[in-house]
Amino acid sequence: MRPELSSDHYPVIFTIHLQDFVSPPYYNIKFTNWKKFQNHLAIIIPGNPPISTIQELDAAASNFSTLYSRAIETSSTNKYIHHLVYTIPYQRNSMKKLKKKIALEKDGKKH
């Protein structure tokens, strides 16, 4: 064990080399055509099928999940992200907006 890693947890170091890595598609609500999504669901999902057993309920839930995912895939535009996405935390973004609003109000009172 290396001295800089000594502890009671015995860490493990992994080195992973990825080749030809393609990031999975990222679905963004802004890029979903909701009308197309609703139309697609209306066409592919049957009404209320009769369900009598737990197995039929499981099958219906699995089928719904598959069809729902397929509707999202066909009505959404994929956005591939090849870099880290940095976002401003919600609270910080709200604070920036509030500061800007206060500054604008101050400028309005000066004139």
pLDDT in tens, the chain (111 residues): 556 655 566 666 777 777 776 665 555 556 788 999 999 988 888 788 888 999 999 998 999 899 988 898 888 886 665 555 556 666 677 788 888 888 888 887 765
- What pTM value is reported for the model? 0.44
- The DSSP bridge partners found for residue 76 are 32
- What does the radius of gyration of the chain's CA atoms come to, in whole angstroms? 25
Number of neighbours of residue 71 by Cβ within 10 angstroms: 21
Alpha helices in 5-89 (DSSP H): 34-44, 54-75
Quote the tokens at residue 43.
């066409």
